[in-house]
Amino acid sequence: MSMNYVFKEGLSGFKRTPLASLTAVIALMISLILIGVMARFYYSAFEIGTTIRNDIDIEVFLEDVNEERRRIIRTEIAAMPIVDQLTYISKDSAVAVFQELFGAQGSPIADLSFLPASYRIQPVPNTPADTLVFYLSKIAEIRGVDEISFNVELLKLIDERLQTVLFLGGGIGLLILFTAMILVFNTIRLTIYAKQSIIRAMKLVGATNGFIRRPFVMEGVLQGLIAGTVSCGIIMLFFSKILPFFVPQFGVIPWPFGRWYYLTGAIMALALLMGLLGSRWAARKFIKDASLS
C-alpha cells in the first residue's frame, strides 16, 4: 500500500465527518495547550522548590577542641555520603559574620568570643530528608561535635509540596490526554461507520484488516499533527508575547530544561501519540474480521 493512498484516504475522513473531525482537533488542541501551560508553570514551581531545598545549609557547631581533633572531625564529616561541600568557619569568622549581619553595634554583648567554630555542610542535591536525618545523627555522635543546626521540618515540607506538585500535575495531565484520545476515538468510529459499505466491498475482494485500518490511523495522526502544530504556536505566543505584556514578571519564567523546543517538541509528540493511539483503538475495535454489523 502506497503512502500516497493512505494519506489521501486519511484526508477523506475529514470530508465525511467534518464536524466530528473539527471537534476532535479543537478538543485535542485545547488539551495540549492546557498541558503545555501547566507543564511550564509546574516546572517553574518545581525548579524554585528544588533551588530552595538545595540552598538549605547544615551547621555543625564544635566544642572547644584542639587543631588535631578538629581535623579528625572534618575527616569524619567529609566521609559522609550526604556531604557535597564542607566549609570550616573559625571563631573569628563567626564573629565577623555576626557583625556583618547585626552590625558592630548591633548587640549589647561586647565579647563575642563565645561564638563557636563550626563546619557548614552543603548536602548533595536532592538528598531525601530521611537520609539527611540519619547521617546527621551519625555526625552528632562524633566526639567534639556540640550541636547541629538544621531545619528538617522545612526540608520535609518542601519535599511534600514537590511531590504534591508532581503527582497532581501528572494526574491532571493524564486525565486531559485520555479525554482527548476518547474524542479522537469517537471521530474515527464515526468515519468507519460512514464507510461501512466501502469496507464491506474491500473485504469481499480480499482486503486485510491492516490494509483497511491504515487510512483511519492516518486520519487520527493528521488530527494530532494539526492540533499539535496549532497548540505549539499558541503556547509560544502566550509565553513570549501575551503573558509578558500583561504581567512582565512572568517573562522570566524558565522554559523546561532551559530551551523552548523541549516543551513544544513534547507537545507535538503527545499530539501525534494521542492521535495514533485513539485512531488505532477505534480501528481495531470496529473493523473486525467479519463484516461490520
**Percent with pLDDT over 70 in the chain:** 88
Checking if the pLDDT of 237 tops 80, the result is yes
pLDDT at residue 41, as a whole number: 81
CB contact at 8 A, 192 and 30 = no
Q: Which residue has the cell 493524564?
A: 174
CB contact at 8 A, 150 and 132 = yes
State pLDDT tens for residues 160-194: 887 887 888 788 888 887 887 787 888 778 777 77
pLDDT band at 229 (very low <50, low <70, confident <90, very high): very high
Residue 87's region, left for phi above 0, alpha for psi from -120 to 50, else beta, is beta
- The residue type of 283 is A
State pLDDT tens for residues 110-149: 455 557 788 888 888 888 888 888 998 999 998 998 888 8
- Delineate the domains of the chain, giving CATH numbers in brackets: 3-51+157-286 (no CATH), 57-150 (3.30.70.3040)
pLDDT at residue 102, as a whole number: 57
State pLDDT tens for residues 62-94: 888 888 888 899 999 999 998 888 888 887 776
Lowest pLDDT segment from 42-56, 90-104, 131-145, 252-266: 90-104
> What span, in angstroms and rounded, lies between the C-alpha atoms of 176 and 35?
8
- The residue type of 218 is M
Q: Which residue has the cell 491504515?
A: 214
| Joined grid coordinates for residue 243 | 503573558
Checking if the pLDDT of 235 tops 80, the result is yes
> What span, in angstroms and rounded, lies between the C-alpha atoms of 113 and 275?
71
Q: pTM for this one?
A: 0.67
